[in-house]
Amino acid sequence: MRFREALAQPGLSAIAEIKRRSPSAGALRPDADPGVLAREFERAGAGAVSVLVDRRFEGSVEDVRAARATASLPLLAKGFFREPDELAELKRSGADAVLLLLRDLDDQRTTKLMTAARELGLDALVEAHDAGELQRALALGADPIGINARNLSTFEIDRNAQLELVAASPRDRVVIAESGIESRAQAAAAELAGADAVLVGSTLMRASDPSARLGELIDRPLVKICGLTRQEDVAVAAEAGADLAGFILADESPRRTDRVLPVPETMLSVAVFVGERAEAGSDLVQLYARENGHRGRDAVLLRGDEPVAQVLDLPWEQDDPRHHARAAIREGRIVLAGRLAPDNVREAIEVVRPWAVDASSQLELSPGVKDPDRIRAFVEAVRS
């Protein structure tokens, strides 16, 4: 399967990167064996593997050959390429795609290299760092396009700027969010902005078990703990490994809070409204219709004004024995809610296969006051 084709599959894909060092971080994994890592990343579910071939990263073309000898998934060769002959050597070594950096290439040379790659049967990942470079990539017909969160001059990471560029990219191109992905929530933020894949390097290379770390980043479903009203409960949810923190701003809820509390970088905040939404400073908004003076059954998850998932819930203060069967036949990203608890969430996941699970009342000591043990047990049950 070609590189672009592999990343265009439904859901979020991951490109696992092999690099021994980084100019910004120094030594990462000096003894990295590309053959071993490529094989392990393939088993862990990577959509593709990226191999640094530049000596500044202590890489070489031999690393591509070593990865190709042990893995069948697409290989991206990363370096600072300027000549078609370099691409031909990479193709002979087993690469399926090459990186082209708009930061270092003018449009004429980029076009020349894209043409050479196409004639060799290579995909060209054209990388942009800002709005101007993204417009250049689009005008050149680049597909796939990489959006790098790292400023290659200062090495600083700006995830918000990256997400806005991802969101501004056309949906008919394969878009890859590169750099700065350290948690499931950050990967999910890129996914919800419109990224087809994330490229993860330093986070994996620093891990004691890189392939297990990769599995954690792409693991689904995500876990949302909702009805949070206290900062200490947010901390427990984060420590337990939850990905989304929900804050209910609807007046009729016994779990109402007057604001979205701060969350760590490992989580995304979700403001929950009924009827009408307001500015809350959250990463996402969960909006229910108002019916007969209370929330409607289902909600929409919004990133800005863009619907990104369906929240499937139980009717207000009622049960529905067909709730999970109903959710299982819905298409798209599903956030499953409705009296989920440590003892029933695993069964619900197996039936519905949701993108995320959402728990609130069943994890409480009293409305709005969470039970730390039940939060931990719930997250553990989801991850088991």
Identify whether 127 is a catalytic site residue.
yes
Catalytic entry in 13, 19, 183, 191: 19
Rounded Cα–Cα distance for residues 268 and 301 (Å): 12
Return the ∠ at Cα 166 (arms to 162 and 167), rounded to 5°. Answer: 115
* Catalytic entry in 40, 127, 191, 364: 127
- Whose structure tokens read 């690393």? 63
**Which residue is associated with the tokens 């990942």?**
125
Q: SS3 breakdown of the chain: % helix, strand, coil, rounded to 5?
A: 35, 25, 40
Residue 341 structure tokens: 């608890």
Tell me, yes or no, if 370 is annotated catalytic: no
Query: In the annotation, is 224 catalytic?
Result: no
Mark out the alpha helices in 146-303 (DSSP H runs): 159-168, 184-193, 202-206, 210-218, 231-240
CB 181 within 8 A of CB 190: yes
Q: What is the 3-state secondary structure (H, E, C) of 238-255?
A: HHHCCCEEEEECCCCCCC
CA–CA separation, 335 and 341 (whole Å): 15
In whole angstroms, give the CA distance from residue 200 to residue 178. 7
197 pairs with which residues across the strands? 13, 176
The yes-or-no answer on residue 291 being catalytic is no
Nearest to 102 by CA among 167, 155, 169, 147: 147
- Tell me 237's DSSP state: H
Residue from 13, 22, 169, 179 carrying the catalytic annotation: 179
Q: Which residues contact 86 (CB under 8 A, 6 or more apart)?
A: 79
C-alpha 255/C-alpha 228 separation (Å) is 7
Dihedral, 61, 64, 65, 71 alpha carbons, nearest 10: 180
- Residue from 13, 42, 78, 360 carrying the catalytic annotation: 78
Which residue, 213, 191, 212, is CA-closest to 203? 213
**156 counts as catalytic:** no
- Active-site residue, from 40, 86, 178, 364: 178
Q: Is 78 in the active site? A: yes
Catalytic residue among 17, 40, 133, 191: 17
Amino acid identity, residue 200? Answer: V
Residue of 13, 148, 269, 360 marked active site: 148
Question: Rounded to whole angstroms, how far apart are CA atoms 58 and 306?
Answer: 42
Active site residue 148: yes
d(CA 89, CA 242): 45
Q: Please give the positions annotated as active site.
A: 17, 19, 78, 127, 148, 178-179
